Amino acid sequence: MASFSGFIRKSPDARLETFLTVLGVEAPDDFNWTSQGRGTAFVNDITALIADLPDLKQDRVQAELDHLASLSTPQGMIAAEQICSAQDIDLEGLQGVQDVLLMLAIDHPKTLERVSAQASLMQRTGGKNWSAFQFENDGMPWALDDEEARAGFVSDAIAILELPKHRKREADWFPSVRVHPITREETEILQATVYVEANAESELTFGSSDGLERQVTQRVVEVGIACNAKERIVEICARGGKKIRDEYASSFCKHFAPESPPPIAVPRRDVLLNTLGSNPSFPTEPADKITSVEISSLEFYSVGGGFARFERRGDDEDIHHFLERQFGEHSPICSEGWTIIAATLRIALAPEHGKRAKTLTVTLRTPNTTTIPNKTELERQFAINLLERWELLAARPEPFDVAETI
């Protein structure tokens, strides 16, 4: 997390002055907003201005600055770019993440809330409070803009959380834009943060009499979802374990995709295709009952914006030798400026007694898409184990938790 003092040092003069003025921080006319070096003295001067405020206002200003400092990370900048791109908020020319966050706090406070929610979702992705669900690509449209479907999903959230129906709830639906890390292709994602009034908590606090008092605080729990209609993927971020997130996925299917089969929960892990450029081996074990493994197709992206796909199947020549024979030193495998973005593996399995031989086909596509969800549960586990052994999948994320927003 970025520090409070570091955030102040890196903030543009005029934007920081405007932000503090909006919050009621008054500076004398001769205050030096362009303090040379932005060192400890400047931070102390700002802290002194805040200290002159009434106690409650001090707390508010400090909390706002701490919040912005927590978002002033590379991940926070990516979140801002994803949300602002979909909201037509131009970030061109702004001086870094501090300038972006201050601008949003001043001019677009609602958007800043969404950036915060997006940064939280990005941080939790792959963690123990997150699950991704893959829908079958059946061509059936999702009713994401249907207000009745949205209201039904939010009502289900109350039931899933086992809270009384009278509890307050609010849902913020908003678009974001994800950019492919290699091709820079943009994909619009519909996201929602569902806020639900949870059970109250009693805690000690210092009251107006300066003595300890017991105060009842109404908690708020959040459920985050991200809907990628193009890839037919829904991400659910919620506390309560996998069973709870399965219920949210079932509710999503019921309200937004009622004509589609139920989705399958799958891990969203980055695929690693760099090793496929050197004609790698695919080590197997006798227990795998694999007779052969081949790369049947490769897809490439050029820095100039071009795409190319090559397919080769046959026992006489693999795809690497095929490309070398066809293009020599100009093969996209060895030429500069070309990157592998997708590959298809054909895994031939030994025939079981009395049955025909089978071939398991798996396609991997950067950054984190595979065709594994289309397989049976047994095939999915088998394929994941193989891809991990062949180092084509990123390591499993370490379990972690993030403090719940109150």
Which DSSP category does 271 fall into?
A: B
Task: Say what the pLDDT of residue 401 is.
Answer: 42
Q: Are 225 and 138 in contact (CB under 8 A)?
A: no
- The larger pLDDT score, comparing residue 228 to residue 127, is at 228
What is the percentage of the chain residues whose pLDDT exceeds 90? 54
Residues 148-155 have a mean pLDDT of 95
Task: Say what the pLDDT of residue 35 is.
Answer: 59
> Which residues have CB under 8 Å from 179's CB, separation 6+?
81, 82, 185, 186, 187
User: Is the pLDDT assigned to residue 402 strictly greater than 60?
Assistant: no
403 confidence band (pLDDT: 50, 70, 90): very low
- The larger pLDDT score, comparing residue 101 to residue 200, is at 101
200 confidence band (pLDDT: 50, 70, 90): confident
What is the percentage of the chain residues whose pLDDT exceeds 70? 95
Q: Would the CA dihedral through 392, 395, 396, 397 be positive or negative?
A: negative
353 confidence band (pLDDT: 50, 70, 90): confident
316 confidence band (pLDDT: 50, 70, 90): confident
- The larger pLDDT score, comparing residue 234 to residue 400, is at 234
Task: Say what the pLDDT of residue 209 is.
Answer: 67
User: Is the pLDDT assigned to residue 177 strictly greater than 60?
Assistant: yes
Which range of 19-28, 58-67, 106-115, 233-242 scores highest in mean pLDDT? It is 106-115
273 confidence band (pLDDT: 50, 70, 90): very high
SS3 label, residue 215 = strand
Interior angle at CA 149, CA 148 and CA 150, nearest 5: 90
Task: Say what the pLDDT of residue 404 is.
Answer: 40
Residues 381-394 have a mean pLDDT of 92
**pLDDT tens digits, residue range 31-67?**
888 755 567 888 888 888 998 888 888 889 999 999 9
Residues 333-359 have a mean pLDDT of 90
406 confidence band (pLDDT: 50, 70, 90): very low
Between strands 212-228 and 233-237, the pairing is: antiparallel
295 confidence band (pLDDT: 50, 70, 90): very high
pTM of the model: 0.79
Which DSSP category does 57 fall into?
A: H
> Which residues have CB under 8 Å from 28's CB, separation 6+?
none
User: Is the pLDDT assigned to residue 149 strictly greater than 70?
Assistant: yes
- The larger pLDDT score, comparing residue 267 to residue 147, is at 147
203 confidence band (pLDDT: 50, 70, 90): confident
Kindly state the greatest CA–CA separation across the chain: 91
- CA–CA gap between residue 395 and residue 157 (Å, rounded): 32
Residues 354-359 have a mean pLDDT of 86
User: Is the pLDDT assigned to residue 334 strictly greater than 70?
Assistant: yes
Residues 348-355 have a mean pLDDT of 86
- CA–CA gap between residue 83 and residue 104 (Å, rounded): 11
- Of 26-40, 156-170, 269-283, 371-385, which gets the smallest average pLDDT? 26-40
